[in-house]
Amino acid sequence: MNKTYQVKAKDDLQVDVHTWTKGEVYEVVEKSDYMTLASDQGSLNYFLTVKEKVFGEFEVLEGQG
């Protein structure tokens, strides 16, 4: 089952062509072994093994994640 929630960027961020704007809210869809994180340009997939590291750059909105 997929789990969907929102995160807020703590700073302006960039990974390759994907960017996130400080203070903006983005959607996360978590699946069995990976998650999809929306960006200003589309979305990016991450294995769940790096979830904690990735979320160090985002605030998981209360009651979610």
**What are the tens digits of pLDDT across the range 18-52?**
999 999 999 999 999 999 999 999 999 999 999 99
3-state helix, strand, coil in the chain (%, to 5): 10, 50, 40
**Pairing, β 58-60 against β 3-9:** antiparallel
Q: Cα 25 to the chain's mean position, in Å?
A: 9
Number of structural domains (the chain) is 1
Q: Which domain holds residue 19?
A: 3-60
**In-domain check, residue 23:** yes
Asked if the model's pLDDT at residue 65 lies above 70, the reply is no
**In-domain check, residue 65:** no
pTM: 0.88
**Between residues 16 and 23, the one the model is more confident about:** 23
* Residues whose CB is less than 8 angstroms from the CB of residue 16 and which lie 6 or more positions away in sequence, other chains included: none
pLDDT of residue 62: 76
Asked if the model's pLDDT at residue 7 lies above 90, the reply is yes
